[in-house]
Structure 1
Amino acid sequence: MAELMPTEIHFGHVTYTVHTDATEINTDEPIGQGQVGASFHQLRAIWVLTEGMTLEQQQNTLLHEVLHCCVNVSGLQVPGKGPDETEEVYISAISTPLHGVLIDNPELHAWLVQGYPQRHMMGMTE
């Protein structure tokens, strides 16, 4: 049985909600034509298009947005022309290969998470 897309993703003490319907996110920020995902850091929300997308495309898009959130939560300032353009170049360059690494190496994921109970099971969500 296929797993459902998570509805929340925890970045340490920061929790983002995950949405597949952009109208659920109360924002004035425009979603660009052809855009398949977006991160709304002020709202702590992620949107992923699912309509017309394969499961692999949805997974890759969510991972891409998760990486944007990691940059935001860490406070990292990506050097270059502008934060949005430069960050997008880096995130796009690593999200697809990272997704492939996780798919091709399930033992890597298992090893990375061993010994760590899920935080929501420990009552550590916001």
Structure 2
Amino acid sequence: MSERRTENLFVGVDPAFDPRPGGIPMSTVSELPGLPLSRLTGPRSPNGQFTRPTPQEREQSDPVYGDLMVDAVRLALNALKPSPTVPNRVHVGHISYTVTVSNAAIDRVDEEENATLAGYSRVSEQAIVLREDNPPDYQAETLLHEVLHQCLRASGYDPDADAKLGATDVEERTICAMTGPLLSTLRANPDLVTYLSATPQGGGG
């Protein structure tokens, strides 16, 4: 079977899989190491794109064609997928918190409080601070943890006070108090939602 030229071609994929018109530029795929582009063959449409082969064409083509096309698309999409980025600012209620990733700041608070923190938040400084070397999924969890602290503060509810008074429904009261502030926070911070819902490269999910 003769091999077709692959310069300036596109990997054609279903729109639901890759919403961009024209699919993924082959130049992007060609930059990926270890991908045998000389074997990446298949029918080509007049507009210079690979097209999905018919069952008959697939039977007549190189048997590894289908697997290579799938692998190429997956590799290219993974390469194009941005790593989730910690937002620089989060709004909770009427307060805007700066978000900083700093081991030095965490270490200072650790020394002050004789603690080992992954992160902290202080309304007096309007700041949320995260440790630099938290693993990606744990970093997202830590940021959400600190946002929840500030949502509870914004609600004005003190579950510790209720617990000391012997209240038996502290959990329900806490959830009710936090629901409104949390929903408002998620709506006001699309960058935060994007970061929390992203899957870090190399992570699970």
Q: Shorter-normalised TM-score: what interval?
A: 0.5 to 0.7
- Note the C-alpha offset of 1:3: 2.5
Q: Any conservation in 1 of the 2:92–2:147 contact (CA below 8 Å)?
A: no
Task: Determine the C-alpha separation between the residues in 2 that align with 1:15 and 1:28.
Answer: 21
Give the length in aligned residue pairs. Answer: 86
The residue correspondences of 1:79-98 to structure 2 (distance < 5 A) are 79-81=162-164
Change (3 A) 1:31 1:63: farther
Task: Determine the C-alpha separation between the residues in 2 that align with 1:33 and 1:45.
Answer: 18
The residue correspondences of 1:50-69 to structure 2 (distance < 5 A) are 50-51=132-133, 53-69=134-150
2:130 maps to which of 45, 48, 70: 48
TM-score by length of 2: 0.35
2:116 maps to which of 29, 34, 41: 34
Identity, in percent, stands at 31
- Note the C-alpha offset of 1:72: 1.1
Task: Determine the C-alpha separation between the residues in 2 that align with 1:28 and 1:34.
Answer: 9
Residue identity matched to 2:163:
G
CA deviation map 1:61-103 (0-9, x unaligned) = 000000001011221111235xxxxxxxx7xxx9xxxxxxxxx
Task: Determine the C-alpha separation between the residues in 1 that align with 2:98 and 2:189.
Answer: 20
Q: Any conservation in 2 of the 1:39–1:46 contact (CA below 8 Å)?
A: yes
Change (3 A) 1:47 1:74: same
- Note the C-alpha offset of 1:7: 1.0
Equivalent position SS for 1:42: coil
Give unmatched runs, 5+ long, in structure 2: 1-81, 165-170, 176-185, 191-205
Residue identity matched to 1:48:
L
Equivalent position SS for 1:6: coil
Give unmatched runs, 5+ long, in structure 1: 82-89, 95-111, 119-126
Task: Determine the C-alpha separation between the residues in 2 that align with 1:61 and 1:6.
Answer: 13
Match of 1:103 in 2: none
Task: Determine the C-alpha separation between the residues in 1 that align with 2:86 and 2:189.
Answer: 20
